[in-house]
């Protein structure tokens, strides 16, 4: 698994080619506090993230979809204090796998975090369906 560091929206967006099917974001703060990558993701998702924050109650885990390169793009946002990241990842990967348009095609999942240790869980280590790339912000 590769690690990349980004600090600007343009650098982040360059990582999001058509092969990227999903982003898993382990945030340091609640979604409503809009930490750094929030606006990058909201831009990518055409305002879906901001709409979500305004319309739903605060939750330590959010799962959203948007259109990206004419395919579904999935975002799982989980606060770092969430008690079972592994289970949240397994549920998300199951949903994505069920809705993937071409089952034989392997797609990339960006893992966005400040601490790469968040992604040292079995749901990622043992997953054969996706390629993972850790992106530090």
Domain boundaries, the chain: 2-136
CA–CA distance, 55 with 3 (Å, rounded to integer): 34
What topology is assigned to 2-136 in CATH? Answer: 3.40.220
State pTM to two decimals. 0.90
Per-residue pLDDT of the chain (137 residues; tens, 9 = 90+): 668 999 999 999 999 988 899 999 999 999 989 988 999 999 999 999 999 888 878 889 999 999 988 888 999 999 999 999 999 999 999 999 888 766 556 689 999 999 999 999 999 999 988 999 999 99
d(CA 22, CA 65): 9
Residue 46's region, left for phi above 0, alpha for psi from -120 to 50, else beta, is left
Tell me which DSSP letter residue 113 carries: E
- Which residues, 6 or more positions from 91, have their beta carbon under 8 angstroms from its beta carbon? none
């Amino acid at each position: 698994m590769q690690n990349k560091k980004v600090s600007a929206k343009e650098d982040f967006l360059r990582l999001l080619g058509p092969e990227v099917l999903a982003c898993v974001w382990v945030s340091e703060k609640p979604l409503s506090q809009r930490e750094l990558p929030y606006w990058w993701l909201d831009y990518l998702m055409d305002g879906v993230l901001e709409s979500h924050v305004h319309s739903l109650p605060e939750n330590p885990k959010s799962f959203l979809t948007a259109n990206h390169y004419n395919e579904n793009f999935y975002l799982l946002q989980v606060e770092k204090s969430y008690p079972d990241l592994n289970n949240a990842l397994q549920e998300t990967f199951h949903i994505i796998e069920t809705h993937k348009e071409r089952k034989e095609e392997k797609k990339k999942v960006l893992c966005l975090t400040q601490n790469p240790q968040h992604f040292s869980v079995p749901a990622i280590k043992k997953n054969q369906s996706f390629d993972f790339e850790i992106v530090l912000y």
